[in-house]
Structure 1
Amino acid sequence: MDASKRASLGRNSFVSLSGIEELLKDLAGQIVQPVSRRTLKRSREEEANQHGILRTMDIVVDEQKHRLQFLDPKAFLQAVVKNSAGFAEMLSQLTTGSSFGSPLSWCLYTDEVTPGNAMRPRQNRKVFAAYWSCLEWSVRVLQSEEAWLPLMVVRSTVVKAIGGVTVLWKHLMEQVLCPMQAGVVVELPVVGARMLFFELRCFIADEVALKQLHTPESMAAAAGYVATAASSHATAAEMTRLEQAMGLNHHAGGVLLDPFLGPRFFGSLMFDWMHILLVTGIVGIQCGLTLGFLHGAGWTTDRINFFLNTFRLPDRIQKGGFQDVLTKREKIAEPVRGSASELLTLVPLLRFYVEKRVVPVADDELRRRLRPFLLLADLLQTFRTLATTTIDAHVLAASVKEYLDDFLAVHGDSDWVPKFHSLMHLAPQYRHHNCLLSCFCHERKHKVVKKYTNQLCNWTTGFEKTILQDLISSQLRIMKDWTPANYTKVRLLEPTKKAPVQLERQVTEALGCPGPFVASLEALHGGGYPVHRGDFVFVRAYGEETLGQADLHLQAAGETWKVVSFLHRVAPDIFQAAGSIGKTLVPRSLILQTVAYSLMDEQAVVVRDV
């Protein structure tokens, strides 16, 4: 092959020459057998049939039969245990679930997923997806999408044809609930065969849950009241108005009116605090109103936006920053619109600006108007910490009430939306479930569903079956090397390479252990989040918290270490950026958190909890 042809290799698909070189090295001496799409499909079907996970049920509506596929949770659990040693070890350490009297808390989730272009006039690919997990698997594990196993994927057009989501859940629960309650036999390491029992105790969703603005008792009464109205031959218009007023839809064959399943759903609802606060929710409304007050007092949006954009975020959230979310509004007090990640990053930085720049020079009236925002910032941080800490549910309820009372006192009820009411139910639900989950991980899980649905051109015959077979294969492949320690164990993250020679020499002298050592630009720290080279971090050293800038990470003497350049503290949130105290080798377990920072006049201003 001449030089011109070699130079053009991969250019049509944007592959670099070095990438082609590495690929050819990997393939050197190997015989690559061509694989057809038919072979891949046959392999996928054999894997699904091998474990007996894919099941079928028929739903008859108006004498028309609809055949739906779902994934048997009992067979899926047995397949995952057999395929994943880490998952099996986690189940063997559970202290509950081994008896019918103390079952595991089965948790379900559902949402509508829109693959492809959401603006297309035809939405045939819209699907309802459902996943399941268990509350006893710890909140940290439940924050990972791998810990939620697929249950079903059904086209929205089919769901509408059978009478809606409530009918779908009724028929699905009739298929899977009793077998899970009766127990699942799994082979676990050390303990051997073990029977695990499950009981439906948690049903979390976003928009579906937010419509249910009732306690379990009032929801049951409301469903009965709507059913009574329907039986009294109310007109369609009257039923529509009644359903809107009651906050639920009536369907005689739905799950809410089922005498066996209805009470279980009433008592298992959990609202998603992430959607209540961050998805077209309370945080956007509150930030907009607060910015309106600040603008009226001379603190313009452009001035605030310039200050906030001087901050550099930790590498793990740099791409999901908040640039220009404040300038997208047309009116001064209009709600701030942005993604959940953008608002989650915006709130602590805006709070820092209000507390450090505005409050010290504000009059009493402006301070009173800013108080609801500061209370909401505290409340948001409380919900974020529930993944790693526990609080008293009564304290949480008091914090919610204090914020809502202040909001009404300052802003009135003109901006009050149903999500403010939903916020009141989070504390009782936290007391009932001993935890509050968010749907961040489920939104990430949707990417897997979208990945496979986008590849299909025929969304009629066999659509759900093909998607579910792909999900089975994907889930088993992901869980093969899965372990709960993936989210908490301090370790280097890929890619890794040999540490520089000079660093190896210094580490050998300091620790007294010979090299070679493995180094990386990124590692997981003690808080369970990745730290990248260049991030500013707080480190617990000599009994106090000190700020430093992260450098290389390396593995030595059986522990993960971090090279940190410590900075001199000038004020509680200000550090001298020009010149460091010196570089120190710090165990990664002592890293507390990453922070946002802004360099001003050779000084670093830092903001925590981003």
Structure 2
Amino acid sequence: MAEQLLGHVKSIEEFLQQTSSMAPDMQEKVAANQMEQLLHKLSLINDLTTEQATTLSAALKGPCWTATHRSTWVEAVSNKIAHKGRSNGRKPTQSLLHFGAFLTPTDVAVLAGHGNLCVKLETMVTRRLSIGLTNPSEQTVGHVIATGMHHGIACTPEDSFNLVQEFKRLLKNKRKSAPSFTEHVQSYPSDPRQLPTKIFDFAYSSEEPVQQDQAQLPASSASGQVVLRRSSKVVRDTLQGRPAHVPTNAFAPDAAKTMLSMMTTLMNMQSGMQQGTRQGSGLQNLRIFGPNGSSGSQASRSPGMLQHEDAFQSPPRTSAGMPAASPQQQQQLSPLQQQQQLSPHVQQLSPEQQAQQQQQQQQQQLQQQLQQLQLALPSGQQSPSLSRTSPTFQTHLPSMDDNDVMGEVEKSSQLVTEALENKKMENKKKPDQIAPEWVWQVPVEGFRKARKAGTTMVDLAKLGRRSYVSLNGLANVLKELKALDRLPDASSRASIKRAREDDCKVNTALGPTFSSLSIHIEELDGRTGTASIREHKLPFICLPAVLSHAIATSDGFREFFLDRLRACPNGPTSPWKMIVYADEITPGNALKPLNSRKIHAFYVSFAEMGAELSSESMWFTVLAARSELVNKMEGGFSELFKLFMEKLFEGPFNLKTGCMLDFGQGKQHLFFASPAIFVADESCIKFAWDLKGASGSVCCLFCSNVVSQNNRLDVHDATNTLVTIAETDNSKWRARGDQVLWASHDRLETIAGRGSKTELQRLQQAMGINHNYKGLLGSRLLAPSSTTMYDWMHCYLVNGLLQLELGLLMPLLYAAGHSVKEILTFFSSFEWPHGLRPHKREVLKIFEKKTAPGDFKCSASQGLSIYPLLRLFVLLHANSLTGAAVRMACDSFLKLCLVLDSLLEGNKGKAISPQELRSRIVAHSQAFLKVHSEDSVIPTFHYSLHLPGMLHQHQRLVSCFCHERKHKQIKAIANNLHKVTKTFEFTVMEDVLGRSFLSLQEYEFWTKPSVTKAKPASEELVAELVASFGLPQAMGSLAGLVADFQPGQTCEQGDTVVLGEVVAEVWLHVQLANGEVHSLVSVWEPLGQNRFNVREQPTWIATNTIDKAVLHRRCNGEALIVP
């Protein structure tokens, strides 16, 4: 760890020396940020030696470090080496003896009020954690409890012990979610204003502490009255014979009168009698063995020892030196204590007589308790009649002298020692050397044999019946169990939960993976009808820590990340472009009126990842929040987005100022990233920027003069400046940049503070922006115009332009004589390729019924399969269409298909020209207006015209196909969380992050095609491969029917594929000895108009030259393909 820290320092100095052209303020900011990261990494080192500390102290030699940096660093290293003797790297205890000065006026009011004790304890615990007091000394605990009692907590000294225990329990539970500070304060000052700046700002951000002259501190003797240990005389005797008393207003009912309490009392007294506990004196639980194997009491010790102890004991209670107890006080005493008060001469007896008399008293007391217990039993039941002197016990406890006792002890200890040694030797053996005692301890092969021999179909059918598990999920679990070397030892729900928490909640060199985001929500009290604001914690994933952990644990992701860093250089002047995606997910029933499981999710990735952005593994889920909570925030979703952006770049591990990523083997890189793209659908963009949206008069974020088609404000504009969303000439648009949008918000802020409500509403409608002083727009954390991107998938394929186009085209085709049956028969006649075959049935089902005008519905993936089929149908029947309207509608649809072709090419990572995309979108828009008029236009018609400009600015268009697939992870978890509690988001995020780590660990960067379920090639095939590729490549070759030729695309035997201008049928796939994959295909002869002559002319091609697999239909030796 120390060597890695030295490497970090060296890398920072080399980096800053190479970037001498960096602005001085930026260089200072980077150096300060890296200093905080170094201090954090230093705090994680547990075994720092003196030599390493000396080397680290002198490590900051470069000119980039200031004198303040060096002094801070040397002090931190000195403190680290000073406390290196502490085991397990635990932080030293903290001392605070002026807790009253650290309270706020609100805290004082809560402690002095008549509220519940739980609330008061929570207040003190929260205040302690806010100032970083997580490891208090025992003296500090007593002082804090005494301070609470001084301010109004009613508690007797006897009850204070239980109060301390409850206080420690609350502190332990809340310590996990407590804020972590770089500086660990050991001795707190008397004035909280002398705390480190970061701790004070965090603890008192909302309210200042009480003034020093108003601080109330308990008397010095008050802390001594708080019972901190169970061995205290105040509670020692009371805890021995009865359950712990719960203070007033505590958390559980008093159960002292129940049967369980009475039996507990009996067992405690019996245990005390066995140990011979001497009330009020001696050491607790000390047993001294007497003659004949019986355990004597504490009174059976030597007279010398008794005299030595009696010298330190208080005088015994007798009637001769103290007044006798009243009848009420006698009722509160135990029978043994009453007997001691009535026998003033008991202390004057010899030690043997005292022991004998005390034993008789204890036996009488036990008999009384047994009689009480027998009276409490129902009729017909008798209490056990066994005792220590019964023959049953005497047969197991023979009489022994002292030598026999010691011999028995040595013999027993020797047996245990030999058993432990045997266990160690057995654990060192290999699994196949261990003789199985039961079937589940058999190694893998033996386990499989036993499973095959003993498992029946009936046993398999019973699996998963008691708790519902899908067949696919059950099959996957059984496969994972087969792959394990042994079955897990733990199987309980709690054990699985703990294991999953440990797997995802990791503390890395860049901080913990899990943190929390605080939001404030407004809740209405149903009884009083009053609203109150309370704080709520949401789980937040630290992106630098996740990247660090993924790079350390996944070889595939590490190599991929290094490859992208080489392809896209990274630095403070060229940070990677961070992409933020947000959307609302609806688990369960989407039509449910009140769905409390609706959840907003935020995903983050980087534009430099290229085509891998289509993989769900490359998108990191950072935040999740239920819509029910978001709607209760004053600023709504926009405020949540603002808090998300603040948290994303908060603290020392800030990607804007650089985070050191360690790739192992001495490779380190200072990684920079900044937000560049915010992609979402129209609804999310509307709520993020507080826009009026598609239903507003001004419905576009980027244009100030584009108005809705419904109100037609352009008709009433005397200056002819306003245009509708049907305008395709972008020269008539009046663009709104970042500065204009921020100025618009400032104007609304001014009117909201000074003007009338009517004037504010008028201005909001004119600007198309809602005023939200807590929103994202006013924070200026994200540039609204230059970062926002419309998702083209939602524009065209999710209730978008494709559904609009087909809803208007299909009725015209019906009117032209093409029936539903004809269209369905045409679609059904095609054979689908391997990758699309599972979707055939659901696509054909859409065309089984007649589509009403403007009512065509399909999903995005279905739309991608429909438009090529329908395009071929239109092209084949174009000459038979006589009506002008249907011909123009078909022309508009064909131009829409060209737009989708271009967008899909760009989605695969291929470069598309913004100019070509603009010409195709404009051509389709004009053709649509020509046939369907402006009345059919929807807002996405205008949004699509902004896509070419976004492509030109960001060099790529991000679609949300991947995100919709990733939503299924959250849906699968949320669908099975039937009880919505405060920890709902934490449960979801823990599972999502665990799945993300698992997928990254199994991640393999796609570099070349591969054969699925490959088997050794046959002799005939090997002979053919020798003739085509040579003997070295043919030997050891593999063959298969299915291969992936592009990321996420597969083809199998019988599929029709396109290779540039060539169309062929796939016969076989082989993987040669050098790893290259080739396909045996039969090239077809082109006949024109997507028709080909089917022939058998096999040839070998490189599988990576395949562009795509297409639908085809054969008839009379010819084939018709769907391009």
Mapped partners of 1:27, 1:421: distance in 2: 54
Distance 1:88 1:25, change over 3 A: closer
- Aligned equivalents of 1:410, 1:189: Cα separation in 2: 62
Once the two structures are TM-superposed, the CA of residue 454 in structure 1 deviates from its matched residue by 2.5
Give, in whole Å, the separation in 2 of the partners of 1:157 and 1:116: 15
> Using a 3 Å threshold, how does the CA distance of structure 1 residues 425 and 29 change in structure 2: closer, same or farther?
closer
State whether residues 1037 and 1073 of structure 2, in contact with CA within 8 Å, keep that contact through their aligned partners in structure 1. Answer: no
Task: Determine if contact 1:359/1:367 at 8 Å carries over to the other structure.
Answer: no
SS at match of 1:128: strand
Identify which of 580, 595, 601 aligns with 2:1110: 595
1:571 and 2:1088 matched:
yes
Distance 2:867 2:891 in 1: 14
Provide closer, same or farther for how the CA distance between residues 247 and 294 of structure 1 changes in structure 2, counting only shifts above 3 A.
farther
Checking the alignment, whether the CA contact within 8 Å between 1:145 and 1:444 is kept in structure 2 is: yes
CA distance in 1, matches of 2:452, 2:999: 42
SS in 2 for 1:298: coil
Report deviation, 1:594.
Answer: 0.8
Q: 1:84 to 1:265 in 2, by over 3 A?
A: farther
Letter in 1 for 2:616: E
- Quick check: 2:506–2:514 contact (8 Å CA) kept in 1? no
CA distances 1:159-188 after superposition (whole Å, capped 9, x unpaired): 111232111111121122352211111013
Q: Distance in 2 between matches of 1:58 and 1:496?
A: 52
Distance 1:186 1:603, change over 3 A: same
Q: Classify 1:85/1:29 alpha carbon distance in 2 versus 1 (closer, same or farther; 3 Å).
A: closer
Cα RMSD, aligned residues only: 3.2
TM-aligned CA distance change 1:459 to 1:246, over 3 Å: farther
Q: TM-score, normalised by structure 1?
A: 0.88
Q: Which amino acid aligns with 2:1067?
A: D
Query: Do 1:96 and 1:103's aligned partners in 2 also have CA atoms closer than 8 Å?
Result: no
In structure 1, what is the Cα distance between the partners aligned to 2:881 and 2:452? 73
In the alignment, residue 700 of structure 2 is paired with which amino acid? L
8 Å contact from structure 1 (residues 288, 335) kept in 2 = yes
Q: Which moved more, 1:66-75 or 1:451-460?
A: 451-460
1:349 and 2:872 correspond: no
Q: 1:55 aligns with which of 495, 515, 521?
A: 515
- Aligned residue runs from structure 1 range 39-438, under 5 A: 39-51=495-507, 52-61=512-521, 63-93=533-563, 94=565, 96=568, 98-138=570-610, 140-163=611-634, 164-177=636-649, 179-188=654-663, 192-206=667-681, 207-209=683-685, 211=693, 213-215=700-702, 217=737, 219-220=741-742, 223-224=745-746, 227=749, 230-231=752-753, 232-234=755-757, 239=761, 248-258=769-779, 260-262=780-782, 264-321=783-840, 322-331=843-852, 333-359=853-879, 362=882, 366-387=886-907, 388-438=909-959
2:1064 aligned with 1:548, yes or no? yes
CA contact (8 A) 2:1069 2:1079 kept: yes
Greater relative contact order structure (CA < 8 Å, 6+ sep): 1
- Specify whether residues 203 and 122 from structure 1 end up closer, same or farther in structure 2 by C-alpha distance, changes over 3 A only: same
Could you tell me how far 1:301 is from its partner in structure 2? 3.9
Q: Which runs of 5+ in 2 are unaligned?
A: 1-450, 464-469, 523-532, 687-692, 694-698, 703-735
Out of 40-49 and 319-328, give the one that drifted further. Answer: 319-328
Q: What SS is found at the alignment partner of 2:646?
A: helix
Identity %: 27
Larger mean CA deviation between 415-424 and 315-324 belongs to 315-324
CA contact (8 A) 2:885 2:931 kept: no
Q: Which one-letter code corresponds to 2:821 in the other structure? A: D
Where does 1:10-25 land on structure 2 (aligned, <5 Å)? 10-12=460-462
In 2: Cα distance, 1:496 partner to 1:244 partner:
64
**2:820–2:850: 8 Å Cα contact kept in structure 1?**
no
* Native 8 Å contact 1:326 1:336 kept in 2: no
What is the identity, as a one-letter code, of the residue corresponding to 1:379? V
Q: Is the 8 A contact 1:187 1:194 kept in 2?
A: yes
2:1098 to 580, 583, 587: 583
* Change in 2 beyond 3 A, CA 1:145/1:351: same
Give the Cα separation in 2 of the matches to 1:195 and 1:127: 35
Give 1:491 deviation, angstroms.
1.4
**CA distance change for structure 1 residues 219 and 375 in 2, over 3 Å: closer, same or farther?**
farther
Alpha-carbon distance between aligned partners in 2 of 1:242 and 1:345, rounded to the nearest angstrom: 45
> Kindly tell me: are residues 582 and 400 of structure 1, through their superposed partners in 2, closer, same or farther at Cα, counting changes over 3 Å?
closer
User: Equivalents in 2 of 1:328, 1:220: separation in Å?
Assistant: 50
Is the aligned partner of 1:9 residue 2:456? no
| Residue of structure 1 in register with 2:962 after alignment | 441
TM-score computed with the length of structure 2 as normaliser: 0.49
Distance 1:575 1:270 in 2: 42
Superimposed CA distance per residue, residues 464-517 of structure 1 (whole angstroms, 9 cap, x where no aligned partner): 11222222221111111324x32x521123x33334454344334433334443
> 1:480 and 1:303, CA in 2 relative to 1: closer, same or farther beyond 3 A?
same
SS at match of 1:319: helix
Does structure 2 conserve the Cα–Cα contact (< 8 Å) formed by 1:224 and 1:257?
yes
Structure 1 contact 92–189 (Cα < 8 Å) conserved: no
3-state SS, counterpart of residue 337 of structure 1: coil
Give the 3 Å change call, closer, same or farther, for CA 408–159 of structure 1 in structure 2.
same
Separation of aligned partners in 2, 1:168 and 1:368: 47
Q: Which has the higher helix share?
A: 2
Conserved in 1, the CA contact under 8 Å of 2:515 and 2:539? Answer: yes
Give the match's secondary structure for 2:777: coil
The letter of the residue matching 2:1071 is Q
Secondary structure at the aligned position of 1:151 is classed as strand
- Aligned position for 2:238: none
Among 983, 990, 1009, which residue is 1:462 paired with? 983
